[in-house]
Chains A and B, each alone.
Chain A
């Protein structure tokens, strides 16, 4: 079983991110359980979305406290909140931030952090700072859990026409970005 925790602000598309990720796993024949946890149900409030995935149906209904992977969609949340809480010893975190905008958090020896300018990538392709699909592209490259093709299939299922096209581009650039910094 793998557990993924997404940190974001309400309105940034974390639920879409979780469902895209869930769908990519689903297409591979896995059993995801993707679910949100809202705070005050206000746009901009910190919130979490989660994906728990296994080769058999997931029954566990609690939130995720010891994730294998972290997606931090808004790095400003890290100021008041330990997003790294419980991250597995060999866990991987992907943070959406401009290069040099944040200090690389202190991590354990086997943990990995990738800082990806997902908003900039999204602005370039989508025209809005919604870095979810580029974050997911980065996730595929960083964790090797899913291939870019798996992700694209989920994007195609979710978006049509122009939105599909630009999101696939954003995902690829996120993927390539991680490839380029992790050689």
Chain B
């Protein structure tokens, strides 16, 4: 399996699934019992089928949504990515009508692979407060450090 292959598979997830919206690739990359531990926006998602639905939902809202991987750090069964995502809000998202605006966020995600080289777990940390403010889902506020 190996660290380099794990890194390539994380890159494929962002290029083919998040970027191109090809959710069938999820079956190659993740096991069905995959679990996502997130934050306030998507705190928990259980199972790769639920991820497919989530990706489709975001892709409908942000058809050009895509991720740029800024850095990867990998060791053992873990791959950590530092990334930025951006997309144009052209469809309904979490009950909000399209604004036509570009939304973006930065994030850090940790992926854990199982013995068969498939992704079994992820901790996704996304700095979504600017996006939620832009959508009017939380009030405008000044964001301090940390």
**Does A pair with B?**
no
Q: Which residues of A contact B (CB under 8 A)?
A: none
